[in-house]
Structure 1
Amino acid sequence: MLVLGIESSCDETGIALYCTRRGLLAHALHTQMAMHAEYGGVVPELASRDHIRRLVPLTQSCLKDAGADFADIDAVAYTQGPGLGGALLAGASYANALAFALDKPVLPLHHLEGHLLSPLLTDEGVDFPFVALLVSGGHTQFMAVHGVGDYVLLGETVDDAAGEAFDKTAKLLGLPYPGGAKLSELAELGTPDAYRFPRPMLHSGDLNMSFSGLKTAVLTAVEKARAEHGGSLPESVRNDICRAFQDAVADVLAAKAAAALRQTGLRTLVVAGGVGANRQLRQRLCALTIGKEAVQTFFPPPALCTDNGAMMAFAGAMRLRHGVQAAAPAGAFTVRPRWPLAQLSP
């Protein structure tokens, strides 16, 4: 079965073709990063319009790369939510129109389920059940995953997501949008323990997290440093602050991941989402042990950490393969900008 995957939840247009026999055949991605950088953040109307421009040519590119034709598609999977309403509508309307024209069925999918299952796309060593850490610009959650469509929320951030905190902190430091990746790059140049920021909710006794307080700590450090340096922020100081911030986030996520594994009795951790590409976080999570027991930690390739069509095509194929969801005829559709992942569970 050949599944076309469509992702348009925010500021990246992703298209992919996944074959249940041959695996991922092709995927194409267009990021709107440069367009939104001028405004310092995502502009929903611009995002929606850009998705409309990109969907058809990206689909044609994938079909060409895969040596396939529209008639070869067996089902169309698309992101129904969560995300920006207009951006979701662009993808959903295109998916349903295309499926209707081809007389093919459609599968409306949850964006976070795509991220959650993405490590299975390239690593056959991942087996159910496992603990999943979804860590992105909009979500930071721990889930117990017992199978496709069977997810239990263990804990989540009570305010900013980790990726959101990275971007907001980068903005405080004067880094261009989106600054999270640049902050991580500069953190590699910083001196460990030159600054020490709080680890919010590290000892809360549950699996919830908080990252908004870190921004306040960074702001205080930046203001103090500028006062000491005549209003400027030396590069070395900026890099040290980046390092301290990244250390704090990594410490919290690693500690909570260990607690989630102990609580569930599981020893497999799957990490997905854009922040999962962070090198220091990967190192910390790969080094986890529970007592004397080693933890198996899996990540998608960095190219598949951000939003992409490959994860949606794969999630659709997995739902069909496991009989969790049947593809439906194209027709009337809705989008779900707010949609808790736990609602997918039986």
Structure 2
Amino acid sequence: MKTLAIETSCDDTSLAIVSEENGNFQVEDILAYSQIQEHQKFGGVVPELASRLHSEKIIAILQSLGLERIKDVDFISVTTEPGLPGSLVVGKTVASLLGEFYQKEAVPVYHIWGHVFSILLERNIQDLKLPMVILTASGGHNDIYLIEDQSAQTPKKSDFPQWEYAGFKITKLGWTLDDAAGECFDKVSRMLGGPYPGGVWISEKARLGKPNPLVNFKRIFLAHEKYEFSFSGMKSQVSFLLEKLKKDGVELTEELICDIAYDFQEAVVEVLAKKLVQAAEEYGAQTLGLAGGVSANERISEVIHQLLDKKKLGISFLSPVKKLYSTDNGAMIGVAGLLAKR
């Protein structure tokens, strides 16, 4: 099977052609337009601007991908939720028009399932050993899911949202109570004089940083909320530290900025990794997954590997094979669509 996939949930206009044969998921082509530069001056995504740019760019991207290739796909996959309403409308409208013109079914895809199954891109479905516990983390979401075979007899807990999708039973074990990790990276970057988005910048600074007695951020584990997250407190800790340093007359040197970035990243990564591995251990996971924009952060993968080795759990670890597949992209929507139609 082969699908044309469309992703316009936020500020990336991305189209891809993804195929599946004998359980192998291949990205035949992927093109995208990132709106980051247009939104940087505002320090965040402006919804009205995002939808207008999607409208302006999507047809040109489609033409570059090749309109003649649409007749060879079996169906069209399109993100329908969640996301910015105006941005989603652009993708859904184009998918509907193409579907009508080429007589192809437009298959709706839940954006988060795209992230969850992005780990299968350029892999075989046999690489996914169930049950799997996966963390999806980005600027807009921060969730832990348990993925099981649909026939699994795991009791449904009333406080855990649960879905059935593409032969899988998906249970949401935890979520963020306020800011997502990626959003926190963006805000702390701004506090330290960095750009938007701030994830890559923070990581680069952290790589140059080191432990510093002036910087000691608390790790926020939420003892009574086993798999929930709260990162607004991390943002507040950085803000309070900067105020204290200024009050004490301590110069915010480049070295100190790197040290702050280092301990901030360590604090966030430690919480994400420990909760993920704890969930994998509790639910007897055979696979541990990491997806979403934050999965492009090399440090979180390092810490997860360290924890798995330390605990000797023997769990396989899967994350997107390319950083391109970590951020919002058409390919992940394609693999989720293909799974739904298998």
Shift of residue 274, structure 1, vs aligned partner: 0.1
Aligned-pair CA distance for 1:2: 1.9
Number of matched residues?
317
Deviations 1:150-196 (A, max 9, x none): 21011111111110111111111121211222111111111135421
Give 1:8 shift: 0.3
Which amino acid counterpart does residue 12 of structure 2 have in structure 1? E
SS at match of 1:145: strand
Separation in 2, partners of 1:298, 1:69: 31
Alpha carbons 2:131, 2:284 under 8 Å: kept? no
1:117-156 equivalent positions in 2, closer than 5 A: 117-124=117-124, 125-147=127-149, 148=166, 149-156=168-175
Partner of 1:57: 60
Structure 2 residue matching 1:128: 3-state secondary structure: coil
- Aligned-pair identity in percent equals 38
Contact 1:201 1:209 in 2 (8 A): yes
One-letter amino acid of the structure 2 residue matched with residue 129 of structure 1: P
2:136 partner SS: strand
**Aligned partners of 2:135 and 2:144 also within 8 Å:** yes
Match of 1:273 in 2: 292
Q: Which moved more, 1:41-50 or 1:18-27?
A: 18-27
Q: For residues 85-113 of structure 1, give each alpha carbon's deviation from its aligned partner in whole angstroms, at most 9, with x where no partner exists.
A: 00000111111011111111110110000
Match of 2:86 in 1: 86
Structure 1 unaligned blocks of 5 or more: 322-346
Counterpart contact for 1:286–1:296, Cα < 8 Å: no
Q: CA shift at 1:253, angstroms?
A: 0.8
- Paired amino acid for 1:161: A
The amino acid that maps onto 2:133 is: V
Q: Deviation digits for residues 14-36 of structure 1, max 9, x if unmatched?
A: 10001223721100111100000
TM-score for both structures, normalised by structure 1: 0.87
Displacement after TM superposition at 1:69 (Å): 2.2
Corresponding position of 2:224? 204
Which of 170, 181, 185 is residue 200 of structure 2 equivalent to?
Answer: 181
Q: Distance in 2 between matches of 1:93 and 1:157?
A: 31
Q: Which amino acid aligns with 1:315?
A: A
Gaps of at least 5 residues in structure 2 are 150-165
Corresponding residue for 1:317?
Answer: 338
Which secondary structure does the structure 2 equivalent of 1:122 belong to?
coil
CA deviations 1:97-141 (Å, max 9, x no partner) are 111111111101100000000011123322332001011111111
Provide the secondary structure at the position in 2 that maps to 1:269: strand
> Quick one: which of 285, 293, 302 aligns to 2:323?
302
> Does residue 116 of structure 2 align to residue 116 of structure 1?
yes
Which residue number in structure 1 is paired with residue 100 of structure 2?
100
1:303, distance to aligned residue in structure 2 (A)? 1.4
Runs of 4+ aligned residues of structure 1 deviating over 4 Å after TM superposition are none
* CA root-mean-square deviation: 1.7
Q: Which region of structure 1 is more displaced relative to structure 2, 122-131 or 44-53?
A: 122-131
Deviations 1:186-242 (A, max 9, x none): 111111354211111254361111111011110111122233446x52111111111
Contact 1:288 1:295 in 2 (8 A): no
Partners of 2:265 and 2:224 lie apart in 1 by 20
2:191 pairs, out of 172, 181, 206, with 172
| 2:47 pairs with 1:44 | yes
Q: Which residue of 1 aligns with 2:154?
A: none
Contact 1:288/1:294 (8 A) holds in 2: no
Task: Please state how far the C-alpha of 1:272 moved relative to its aligned partner.
Answer: 0.3
What is the one-letter code of the residue matched to 1:103? Q
CA distance in structure 2 between the aligned counterparts of 1:3 and 1:70, rounded to whole angstroms:
8
1:51: Cα distance to partner? 0.6
- Can you list the C-alpha shifts for 1:17-59, whole angstroms capped at 9, x where unaligned? 0122372110011110000001111111110011112212212
Distance in 2 of aligned mates of 1:209 and 1:281: 15
Amino acid at match of 2:130: F
Cα separation, 1, equivalents of 2:304 and 2:87:
33
Q: What SS does structure 1 have at the residue aligned with 2:66?
A: helix
The CA distance in 1 between the partners of 2:96 and 2:208, in whole Å, is 48
Distance 2:305 2:122 in 1: 18
Distance 1:122 1:71 in 2: 23
Deviation string, structure 1 residues 280-315 (Cα, Å, up to 9, x no partner): 111011223274323321110211100000001111
- Give me the whole-angstrom Cα distance separating, in 2, the residues matched to 1:31 and 1:268: 32
Aligned to 1:343: none
3-state SS, counterpart of residue 220 of structure 2:
coil
Deviating more after overlay: 116-125 vs 86-95? 116-125
